[in-house]
Amino acid sequence: MPINIYMTSWYRKDMTETAVNYIHERTTPGSYILHIFDNGSDKDTRDFLCGLLEQGKIGSLHLDSRNTGCLYNKAVFYAMTETDDKYFCVTDNDVFPPKLSPD
């Protein structure tokens, strides 16, 4: 069963792109589903995120026109309490997974 990874995004398109690419490069395909919650980013960032969804690089995208900050944290906490998943991963768009050796 794939692990759900929830990532926040707020502007910083380049950082989001790096984080998403690193996750894809440094993890086993099919072992996770990446969900992105965007907090009021500009049109360029939103268009980029929609492109990731169309390419299948992310499993879901939630666009909010506001910077929801604490509301996002409440939603994540609620999701954590409602899930039956063994693992629940949350990251930000400026957190890059390390390249581990050998696997």
Residue 101 has pLDDT above 60, yes or no: no
Q: What is the pTM of this model?
A: 0.75
- At 4-55, the pLDDT tens digits run 888 888 888 888 898 899 888 888 888 888 988 888 888 999 999 999 999 9
Q: Which sequence spans correspond to the domains of the chain?
A: 3-92
CATH 3.90.550.10 fits 3-92, yes or no: yes
* Dihedrals phi, psi of 50, to nearest 5 degrees: -60, -35
Q: Is 33 helix (H, G, I), strand (E, B) or coil?
A: strand
Q: Which pLDDT score, from 0 to 100, does residue 61 have?
A: 92
- pLDDT category at 83 given cuts 50, 70, 90 is confident
| AA identity, residue 32 | Y
The CA-atom distances, in angstroms, between 56 and each of 26, 31, 70, 83 are 17, 14, 28, 23
Is residue 31 within 8 A of residue 2, CB to CB? The reply is yes
